[in-house]
Amino acid sequence: MAPVTSLSDSVEQRLASALSATLPEAAGSDPLLRRSDRADFQANGILALAKKAKANPRELATQVVANVTTGDVIGEIEVSGPGFLNVTITDRAITENLAARYADEARLGVPHAAHAGTTVIDYAQPNVAKEMHVGHLRSAVIGDAMVQILEFTGESVVRRHHIGDWGTQFGMLIQFLDEHPHELDHKEKQVSGEEAMSNLDRLYKSARKLFDADEEFKTRARRRVVDLQAGDPHTLATWQKFVDESKIYFFSVFEKLDMEIRDEDIVGESGYNDMLAETCRLLEESGVAVRSEGALCVFFEDVKGPDGNPVPLIVQKSDGGYGYAATDLSAIRDRVFHIKASSLIYVVDARQSLHFKMVFETARRAGWLNEDVKAHQLAFGTVLGKDGKPFKTREGETVKLVDLLDEAVGRATSVVREKAEKVGLTEPEIVENGRYVGIGAVKYADLSTSAVRDYKFDLDQMVSLNGDTSVYLQYAYARIRSILRKAGETRPAAHPELALAPAERALGLHLDQFAETVSEVAAAYEPHKLAAYLYQLASHLTTFYDQCHVLSPDNAPEVVENRLFLVDLTARTLHLGMALLGIRTPEKL
């Protein structure tokens, strides 16, 4: 279906025509339309135009009003204050607009982006042979939401999980496994994610203990690092065992997060090994990087240390080894020239902002990034405990991600079970809904906060039915589904001829903003604004429930049908909006 023109766009078009008719030199000017508590919309653009034309703004506004066509979309328009225009939409226009969105079941009238391209999103970056902790949560949740949102708006999205699968620590692990070859031998038995992590943890501790106590083993382990970097087949095969075991664990964690991670999207540090030497050569030959004390470095005028001396980006160390910068720059080359990406998004901790600023600037100097190919760090803050300090266990250790998710699901299941009998949930439904509510609570708490800000992890608040929580939104959706079931044979239907109550108008006008919100979120990489929109939608719905009874026998049949239509469209919008954030909406709750 064709996208639906929003009410704000329709009003803008009419005001722009009236402006042009009143003041020809104002053709193409922005009326500066926004939502208002004084009317449905307020236009503020006339003040600037009047100043430019040396005209009285209120008189100019009065002339514009005389040229505005009313009756179809615009019901009333009046001049306010020094020259503002207050605009009220007709009830018919609201209902007809929503009916067009309702007819587009898959997209609700949301258009595809006008200039879609190819975006590579780098997110969810765990480390091989290491347990995922709370610090991995935000990259995964924010990245997955942006994948859903961008794909929905028509962008071609390539997912990349830049896992930590390379480095000197693998020499120790590979050598130990070589000397204890059955440590990761499953004997064709299916291994759970928990078992895989237990195997890796046990092996790591044993290898570390031997490495610290046995100098000969330490020497052999360091030799294996050289073999690994040289591409020795046997060493690579042993290294691959650690990667495969880790993937079993990774996939189990992401499954708990209700998130799809595909094997072909996992391209770790090792995936760019063959490009490192060439990356360094290109940077040095172009003069972007220079040798300094034996290391290949890139210098920046605005990056200096406490002593005032320049702090360089080290691409290659003085001993010939490659740093993270070489890998990141090689990844940019691959994504720009092989994948043909037009946008690169890195969902990475804000504490790495300086590193990525230097990497992106280096790539720009090299000509790999330009006006046609942009890179953006979608930086995120820290997960804090209730005390406002970085989230730790009581023993001061980093919180394991699996433990955090299990606790969230357990807490949510208890909340669901309390209401299970009232809504007729079976035990399997209680378990399933407990998972959807628990994981949704964790995701929403993250996504409802601006990514760059820190946020407090408070499970009690997250699973509350009150306030800005995913449970509140899920409950709003389930409540509508219950009303639609109770309606029986009466079906939702739009009736544009009906006058709308204030709460119906407010709900309808907010529903009309969904498409604009999704487009803005996709363009600015700000999923928290979609979460805010959905919370406001649920709040409008609550007011509507209080003021407009849907299935009251006192209502005329067409009023019942129209209100069912309004709540059904609200349910569809909640369902789609939550899905774009990676959150499920149970039918009963």
From CA 190, how far away is CA 252, in angstroms rounded?
Answer: 13
Instruction: Write phi, then psi, for 28 (nearest 5 degrees).
Output: 85, 0
Q: What is the pLDDT of residue 52?
A: 86
pLDDT exceeds cutoff 80 at 22 = yes
* Residue partners of 534: CB distance under 8 A and separation at least 6: 473, 573, 574, 577, 578, 581
Instruction: Answer for the pair 573, 108: CB distance below 8 angstroms, yes or no.
Output: yes
| Residues 242, 36: Cα–Cα separation, whole Å | 58
Note the maximum CA span of the chain: 92
Q: Are strands 290-292 and 383-384 parallel, antiparallel or unpaired?
A: unpaired
Per this entry, what is the length of the chain? 589
- How does pLDDT run across 165-224, given as a tens digit for each residue? 998 889 999 999 999 988 888 767 788 999 999 999 999 999 999 999 999 999 999 999
152-349-240 Cα angle (round to 5): 85
End-to-end CA distance of the chain: 33
Helices (DSSP H) in 231-384: which residue ranges?
Answer: 233-256, 276-285, 324-333, 353-365
Residue pair 445/462 in contact (Cβ under 8 Å)? The answer is: yes
User: If you write DSSP's letter for every residue of 476-521 in order, what string do you get?
Assistant: HHHHHHHHHHHTTT------TTS---HHHHHHHHHHHTHHHHHHHH
pLDDT at 354 over 80: yes
So what's the pLDDT on residue 186? 77
**What is the predicted pLDDT for the residue at 306?**
81
What percentage of residues in the chain have a pLDDT greater than 90? 82
CA–CA separation, 148 and 230 (whole Å): 39
CA 454-534-120 angle, to 5 degrees, is 60
DSSP state, residue 82: T
> What global pTM score does this model have?
0.94
In this structure, what are the phi and psi dihedrals at residue 87, rounded to the nearest 5 degrees? Answer: -120, 130
Percentages (nearest 5) of helix, strand, coil residues in the chain: 55, 10, 35
For the packed helices 470-486 and 401-423, what is the interaxial angle rounded to 10 degrees?
Answer: 30
* 1: pLDDT strictly greater than 80: no
Report d(CA 38, CA 80) in Å as an integer: 10
pLDDT of residue 168: 86
Q: Where are the beta strands (DSSP E) in 306-390?
A: 313-316, 343-346, 374-377, 383-384
The bridge status of strand 84-89 relative to strand 118-122 is: unpaired
Strand locations in 378-478 (E): 383-384, 455-456
Q: Which residues on adjacent β-strands are paired with residue 120?
A: 158, 344
Nearest to 51 by CA among 69, 73, 29: 29
CA gap 490, 480 in Å, rounded: 14
Strand partners, 493: none
Q: Are 514 and 99 in contact, with CB atoms under 8 Å apart?
A: no
What is d(CA 132, CA 125) in angstroms, rounded to the nearest whole number? 9
pLDDT tens-digit readout, 525-566 = 999 999 999 999 999 999 999 999 999 999 999 999 999 999
State whether residue 341 is helix, strand or coil: coil
CA dihedral 12, 15, 20, 22 (to 10 degrees): -170
Cβ pair 215, 226 in contact under 8 A? no
Contacts of 304 (CB under 8 A, 6+ apart): 310, 311
Mean pLDDT over 300-326 rounds to: 89
- The band of 386, judged by pLDDT with boundaries at 50, 70 and 90, is confident
Average pLDDT over residues 151-165: 97
| DSSP-based three-state secondary structure for 302 | coil
pLDDT in tens, 246-271: 999 999 999 999 999 999 999 999 99
State the chain's mean pLDDT as an integer: 94
